[in-house]
Amino acid sequence: MCRHTAWLGAPRTLASLIHEPEHGLLRQSYAPRLQRYGTINADGFGMGWYDTGRAEPVRYRRSVPIWTDANLPGLAQVARSSCLLAAVRSATVGMPIEEGATAPFADGPWMLSHNGRVAREAVRELADDAESPCDAAWVAAAVFARRRAGHPLGDALAEVVVHAGTKDPEGRLNLLACDGTSIAATVWGDTLHLRLGDGELDGVLVASEPLDDRPGWQAVPERSLVLASPRGVHVQPL
């Protein structure tokens, strides 16, 4: 399993997801509070953000524990965007530990992280190829194939999750994706939480587990699809 989080709203730094909160991704890498499978996320980490000078997101991925990267704190303090995605990885048994198997996966303007596991055979029929042999890379490839075919981001996630979950009833398919102006996420086998804008927050946070103990975090029901955009946040059943 893994932990992931995303932000959509007023520009903020990656450090606001990773280092600054008491229970940000750095701490979740070695002491997650709500993770149902596994106790540590030391098999890599990655993050992505959008810059107005680029058509595609910027990504930074490593296959080492997040706490071993001495360059990351400085990078996270200056990498700023209105749309951010970050993840720490606990590799599925038998899957490679390499940067190509580490979220966020990307295709054009889209990024995706997978928190869970699924039989590769349940998603391979949905995509022609993937960046890595790992299950998460095939899930991402399946979503991206549908997005390129014109499906809205939320529909692409929902189609892949329901198909793969039907093929593999033991699959866990919490997906988190973004395109620079919106976020879509699924809850299928693990936890997901939202924190909406208020006096201290000009946007929406989506995270496997709360980044802090402030009030306002909401647990998303199992087997749900989350859609977030500047127009608001909508949660619907899968």
Give the residue numbers marked as catalytic: 2
Taking the C-alpha atoms of residue 68 and residue 211, their distance in angstroms, rounded to an integer, is 21
Distance of alpha carbon 232 from alpha carbon 229, whole angstroms: 5
Q: Which amino acid is at 13?
A: T
Residues 6+ away with beta carbon under 8 Å from 208: 2, 3, 4, 5, 28, 32, 34, 35, 115, 174, 190, 191, 192, 193
